[in-house]
Amino acid sequence: MDRLKAFFISAWMTLLVAGAVRSGWEIYSYPSNTIWYWVLLSMAAPLSFFTWVFTSNVARTKNITKRIFVITLGSLVGVALSPSLTTEPFMWVLGAGVIGSALYEWWYSSFGGRSSEVLKVGQTLPALEFINAEGMRIKTSELNKPMLMIFYRGNWCPLCMAQIKEVAGQYRELAEKGVEIMLISPQSQSHTANLAQRFDAPMSFLVDQDNAMAKHLGIFAANGLPSGMQVLGYDSDTVMPTVIMTDAVGRILFADLTDDYRVRPEPDIFLTVFSQAGI
């Protein structure tokens, strides 16, 4: 199923671009044929959403995507009521517009229920080991500090990047509490080092080689990378976005296992949880 999702998101984006080009050409050639304006709208709405996500620092998008689906559904009604209705524009709106948006909203974005027996509040976090951007091994059992651990999918994920930027903005307040901020992904050391250079905050950017720790924690995502992005140097397998907070002895204070990658904890919750634990 994860492999099917990886193919879907890449294929859908390709169809949206193709549909926008096709409708744009028809509008240019026959500007009075209004049915193709509905096709263009149904393609442009999700494309504009993804453009916004990739160009803005936005970490949460679930409420927005439902509006995209409504726009595509409205476009389908517009096409169906058009006096010049033909099969091709109807199929573009129904397939790439409505069905594509519906699949993204209610299937692709959901992890289908998540749980982890080792990430329950009050339990002790298992000893974990990562590699930093310089190739040094980092063991959580040796830190003896409160920890904020964010497992993110990779530099390719715009929502993950926005979440990291939020945490970077809180760095000073968290550092005053003695918190070790650990940003962890299975991507290569080179990608991790490039990401570390973007932020003027001494946070720990770490690599989980082969998703070994993610598998141990039950947050591994096989074939989580959109198809085709392997050419950029990313592995097909990744991790489900996860936040873990512990005290200095490794007791879990908070664990967010979001069931929807578009939903992330609000940044203020981190300071609140540590404060409530007396940190």
> Helix 2-29 to helix 35-55 angle, to the nearest 10 degrees?
130
The Cα-based distances of 275 to 14, 22, 82, 253, 270 in angstroms read 47, 55, 59, 11, 9
In degrees rounded to 5, what are phi and psi of residue 60? -140, 125
pLDDT score for 201:
78
d(CA 49, CA 202): 32
The Cα-based distances of 170 to 167, 206, 241, 278 in angstroms read 5, 19, 19, 18
Sketch the domain layout of the chain as residue ranges. Answer: 2-108, 129-276
Residues in the chain: 279
CATH architecture observed for domain 129-276? 3-Layer(aba) Sandwich (3.40)
In degrees rounded to 5, what are phi and psi of residue 12? -65, -45
Q: Which residues contact 49 (CB under 8 A, 6 or more apart)?
A: 61, 64, 65, 68
Contact 20, 47 (CB under 8 A): yes
pLDDT score for 200:
76
d(CA 171, CA 202): 8
Interior CA angle at 129 toward 123 and 134, to 5°?
Answer: 145
d(CA 139, CA 86): 63
Q: Which residues contact 8 (CB under 8 A, 6 or more apart)?
A: 103, 108
Contact 179, 146 (CB under 8 A): yes
Residue where the block lists tokens 């080792």: 118
Q: Which residues contact 111 (CB under 8 A, 6 or more apart)?
A: 221, 240, 258, 259, 260, 261
d(CA 186, CA 215): 11
Look up residue 174 and give its two tokens.
């968290």
Beta bridge partners of 207: 131, 185
pLDDT score for 2:
86
pLDDT per residue, tens digit, the chain (279 aa), is 689 999 999 999 999 999 999 999 999 999 999 999 999 999 999 999 999 999 998 899 988 999 999 999 999 999 999 998 999 999 999 999 999 999 999 999 998 888 888 999 999 999 999 998 788 999 999 999 999 999 999 999 999 999 999 999 999 999 999 999 999 999 998 999 899 888 877 899 999 999 999 999 999 999 999 999 999 999 999 999 999 999 999 999 999 999 999 999 998 999 999 999 999
CA atoms within 13 A on the CB side of 33: 15
